[in-house]
A and B are shown apart, each in its own frame.
Chain A
Amino acid sequence: MGYLEGFAVTLRKVAEGVTTRNYRGGKGGRSDQKAPKPPRLHGRHVLNRYEDGMEKCIGCELCAGVCPAKCIYVRGAENPPEDPKSPGERYGYVYEINYLRCIHCDLCVEACPTEAITETKMFEFSFTNRSDAIYTKDELLVGDDGKPKDLPWEDWRPGEDEYTSGWMRATSPSGKAGFEGKVGWSGELGYGVRSPELGQSAVEIEESSSDGSDEHGGHH
């Protein structure tokens, strides 16, 4: 009756309790509070603008080139001289990200020479068909106020849209590791300007996420 030993293992594990954590927040969750997330969470992307409303994206396709999941599709086109979309000769004519493929590695953010693409902390978004999963340029581009668009299938809370900048670089500029205590780059249109990031020890992250008061990190 060797299989009983197998059941015994199962029963023993059941008794040990659950180790996975429930996602507590979001619409229809047990509480309406979102779960605290690590300060460096990579959410859905935005395409940023300059203060004067020009698009930062120049359609260089470096993000698409570096993307390991091949989820970004960019096509450049010549800026119409009378109504330029971006500074310079070229702008991103087509910009699409397929979120069924995106692994949120942020390599696109690192590759971007103009800080045009950054990631928000928006994590609570889902879709019911494949074409909705492909975010078009219209959906990714921030509004005139510099804030990401609040799309119907996304759960934005007040204040969340201010944190869209590129703090979440995995590597620092010039490849130097010691970038703690420095501002990586400025936010867009005045949003997302943060105080310098503090140390990255695991303890600190644990603290900041367990108290739940600061979901975005950086505000110590």
Chain B
Amino acid sequence: MTSTEASTGVPFTLNGEDFEADNGELLIDAAERHGVHIPRFCHHPRMKPVGMCRMCLVEVDTGRGPALQPSCMLPVTPEMKVETESEATKQAQDGVLEFLLANHPLDCPVCDKGGECPLQDNAYAYGPGESRFVEEKRHFEKPIPISDLVHLDRERCILCDRCTRFASEVAGDPLIHFIDRGSQTQVNTFPDHPFSSYFSGNTVQICPVGALTAAPYRFKARPWDLEAVESTSMIDTAGARVVLQSSQDKLVRILGVDSDAVNWSWLSDKDRFIYEANTSENRIVEPRIWSNDTHRSVRWTEATKVAARALRIDPERVAAIGGARLSLESQYAWTKLLKGVIGTDNADAQLGDGIPGALVLGVERATIAHACQPGSVIVLVGPDPKEELPTLYLRLRHAVVEDGVKLVEITPRATSLSELASVRLRATPGTVGQVVNAIVTESFDQPIGGVDGSRLRAAHRLLTSDSPVTMVFGRSNLAESARYIADAVGGIKRLREDAAFLPALRRGNVHGALEMGLTPGFLPGAVRNRRSVFGNWASTPDFEGKDTDGILRAAVAGDIDTLVLLGADPMADFPDRQLAEEALDNVGTIIAVDTFLTESSRRSDIVLPAAMFGEHDGTFLNLERRLSPIRAKVTAPGLCRPDWMIAAELSLAVGPDLGFASLDELRAEMSQVIGSLEDLDWDALASADDGPIIVPRRNWDLEFGDPAALPAVSSYGFRLVVDRKLWDEGTMIQESASLAKLAPRAELRLSPADVQLMELSNQTHVTVDQGEVSFDLPFVADPAVAPRTAWLPARLPGFDVRRLLAAGRSITNVRLRIPDHGESDHDGGSEVRHG
């Protein structure tokens, strides 16, 4: 990983042949690189060596005579002589395996790992064949659930330390550990603390035996009836590389692929187990039309005809929201349909919870590797990466812990990275732009946004050092305007001309959607609509469109007749639920292209069933602008179609044909029309280790205005912080049986100081008064929250915090007080009054 090239190589002899190892390279890795496999259990290339299992013993002579040494703990030294197939090595391997199998139960036929088990493989390849052990084996209670997703069978465990090392070193959730000693040593959780890590599924993947098994995969298939294809996770914008595995045309497992550029083989549990939604009974599998107060199943021809009629109107009265679920190809097809055929510019892939498209498209993009290079500085102005971009979180965490990367965190509440940050600036909502501005202008005299001068100075010192600076930015708070984040980006840009940026947007392929022009004012390739000829398109929109906020407002005003929901659920995702509801009620025709009947698609007049992740081929664009393949593994159920096909069908019915009838033709046109894809070898994407980074050929420059002034102080003394958790009431999560129950209940979080100050300590609920509405909510004291702020993630069961938000407010102030009627037995979200 961090090894240098062979020019400074270390010469050594392996089984009589001379090779060169990299400086500091471990013997086991050097041997592997030169084609000699040394058996191992505990060694993992992405974790630090421990030498637990002793399987990798080889005979090493460093001049003092041959001796058995664990090759996973031994860096190659000059003139080392290594024998991996000598009699002594073989005897050692025999012995180690006999010991490991002494207590390992032979229940391989019922074990999920049977057939792909390193212990089985090594026992066959290197084992003695027969055991001399006739005594009773060690017994433990058969699998115990150590979390909702992972089962632990301690009898099978060979104590390799992989899972425990992963939990503490990689994930930073040291929730499992060895307990007891001697023959009773076992892995276990701490009492009453389940292994509820977002990354628990990785331990199942790296377990070299069947000790850890995944609850959703348990007994679903056996390794030999799995078919596999490499793809890219569409759960978040990191674009983790995955293998999709299916049995009997059903997705049954997702594994992480070791992509050097992105996820290093790790996945979040959401990436790993979300496939359960594919086989949910609630999938929409046929087109539906709303008639006589119910949805009626119809044929595609009829649905297309009705939808086309609704789209053949004044383009300014047509709008589309969403598109992050789509592949890059589908996004292009839909943009061409909306902007090139219908002629509307009202298209936005973000739902008012992101960052303005121009900012995302305009900043210099960093790669994850660039951000994480040893010695660099990362500025985080955005959501908690662990909650919204878990695989990126693992890379950032590794960089800070292992590679000396300095982290400057400017967030309204403490994140999972706060403990590791060099400088923590707890900027209250609405102040982040001014806080960054104070760093830029070196105004350290007075505190700003709750941050005192010494911290600003510390941040300034780090940011102006020689180290490369990468800014990870995103919406840290849905209750404040994205304007402030833009100001912060502008500030960092002014401070460091060479700064690079990683936009930490949450939703799937949203970067692809923006790049393909599903944002107002843009056309595919991140070029601004100059209202002139574009590629082979018949026309381009002759007006500047609206974003989601604008579209919904226009809909309320009666200016939108047809609204297309491209996998979007504004009722559930747009920060202002009331506006979304009124808008959907006011639109003439809603066309939903979706996989499930969400709150929004339930209200639509035409529902077109789309193929889901794993059911269509395409391309993904991640937050680094890296292309990687999305591949189909299973057949889409019923009449579901890939989104680009739906666009092509609609176009045929609306007006001029889109001009492509296959994915290859579509890709050919994209290469022709989009400058950054000109030389792309689409077929090579599927086999590339790390996909290529595309560089858009922009015809515009990004401009930043002056930062917005601090919001006025309000008599409503608390500022609301609203963000997202990994587990919430999102549609895909709720449709995955194993994940649906993981979302925590909504609880307002307040700083311990405020709880004390307001004398709330003997209360369970607090009344949150926003002026227009107020609610009684359960609360907890949480040191992660800054004073005078109240934090509540959106879309949690129990209470929809979006009821306190309204679009257009720059920040959301609330007043807190002890509930009038004292103690009550409600569990949250009961409305007290309408003001």
Contact = CB atoms under 8 A, between A and B. Distances in A.
B114 interface: yes
Interface stretch (A6-14, A27-35, A43-51, A57-65): A57-65
A114 interface: yes
B222 A61 contact: yes
A113 B219 CA distance: 17
A78 interface: yes
B110 A90 contact: yes
Interface in A37-92: 58-62, 64-65, 76-78, 88-90
B354 to A, nearest CB: 42
A65 B143 CA distance: 25
A6 B245 CA distance: 60
Contact of A78 (B108, B218, B224, B225): B218
A58 B219 CA distance: 10
B109 A58 contact: yes
A64 B109 contact: no
Contacts of A61: 222, 224-225
B219 A76 contact: yes
Q: Which 6 A-B pairs have the closest CB atoms?
A: A60-B109, A76-B219, A61-B222, A113-B109, A65-B224, A90-B110
Contact of B107 (A62, A77, A78, A88): A88
B613 to A, nearest CB: 24
A77 B225 contact: no
Interface in A85-118: 88-90, 113-114
B138 interface: no
Nearest to A113: B109
Contacts of A58: 109-110
Contacts of B44: none
A51 to B, nearest CB: 20
Contact of A60 (B143, B218, B222): B222
Interface residues of B, number: 13
A148 to B, nearest CB: 23
A77 B221 CA distance: 9
A62 B143 contact: no
Contacts of A88: 107, 110
A89 B142 contact: yes
Interface in B218-249: 218-219, 222, 224-225
A114 B109 contact: yes
A90 B224 CA distance: 17
Given A58-B109, A58-B110, A78-B218, 8 more contacts: A59-B110, A60-B109, A60-B110, A60-B114, A60-B222, A76-B110, A90-B219, A113-B109
Nearest to B247: A75
Nearest to A88: B110
B795 to A, nearest CB: 31
Interface string B137-155: 0000011000000000000
B143 A89 contact: yes
Nearest to A62: B109
Nearest to A65: B224
Interface of B: 107-110, 114-115, 142-143, 218-219, 222, 224-225
Contacts of B107: 88
A79 to B, nearest CB: 9
B224 A59 contact: no
15 contacts: A58-B110, A59-B219, A60-B109, A60-B110, A61-B225, A76-B110, A77-B219, A78-B218, A88-B107, A88-B110, A89-B142, A90-B110, A90-B219, A113-B109, A114-B109
Chain A CB within 10 Å, residue with most, of B107, B114, B142, B219: B219
Nearest to A86: B110
A78 B219 contact: yes
A127 B225 CA distance: 29
A68 B132 CA distance: 35
B110 A65 contact: no
Contacts of A114: 109
Nearest to A112: B109
A60 B114 CA distance: 9
Contacts of A60: 109-110, 114, 222
Nearest to B215: A78
B219 A65 contact: no
Nearest to A116: B109
B248 to A, nearest CB: 8
A88 B225 CA distance: 22
Interface string A149-166: 000000000000000000
A78 B213 CA distance: 13
Contacts of B224: 61, 65
Contacts of B219: 59, 76-78, 89-90
A90 B113 CA distance: 13
A66 to B, nearest CB: 9
Contacts of B143: 89
Interface string A196-212: 00000000000000000
A62 B223 CA distance: 11
A88 B109 CA distance: 10
A113 B142 CA distance: 20
| Most chain B CB neighbours (cut-off 10 Å) among A58, A60, A64, A113 | A60
Contact of A89 (B110, B114, B115): B110
B110 A64 contact: no
A116 to B, nearest CB: 10
A119 to B, nearest CB: 20
A78 B142 CA distance: 13
A76 B112 CA distance: 10
Contacts of A90: 110, 219
Contacts of A59: 110, 219
Nearest to A111: B109
Contacts of A76: 110, 219, 222
Contacts of A77: 219
A194 B108 CA distance: 30
A90 B108 CA distance: 12
Interface centre among B108, B142, B225 (most CB of A within 10 A): B225
Contacts of B108: 113
A110 B376 CA distance: 61
A82 to B, nearest CB: 15
B142 to A, nearest CB: 6
Nearest to B109: A60
B218 A65 contact: no
A88 B107 CA distance: 9
A110 to B, nearest CB: 14
A114 to B, nearest CB: 7
B424 to A, nearest CB: 46
A68 to B, nearest CB: 14
Given A76-B219, A89-B143, A65 B109 contact: no
A76 B224 CA distance: 14
Interface centre among A64, A76, A89 (most CB of B within 10 A): A89
Contacts of B218: 78
Contacts of B142: 89
A65 B107 CA distance: 17
B55 to A, nearest CB: 25
Contacts of B109: 58, 60, 62, 113-114
Nearest to A66: B224
A61 B221 CA distance: 9
Residue in B218, B222, B225 with the greatest tally of chain A CB atoms within 10 Å: B222
B119 to A, nearest CB: 17
B114 A64 contact: no
A160 B181 CA distance: 57
A58 B108 CA distance: 11
Contacts of A113: 108-109
A89 B225 CA distance: 20
Contacts of B225: 61, 64-65
B216 to A, nearest CB: 12
A123 B142 CA distance: 42
Max chain A Cβ within 10 angstroms of own Cβ: one of B108, B109, B115: B109
Interface string A4-26: 00000000000000000000000
Nearest to B151: A89
Contacts of A78: 218-219
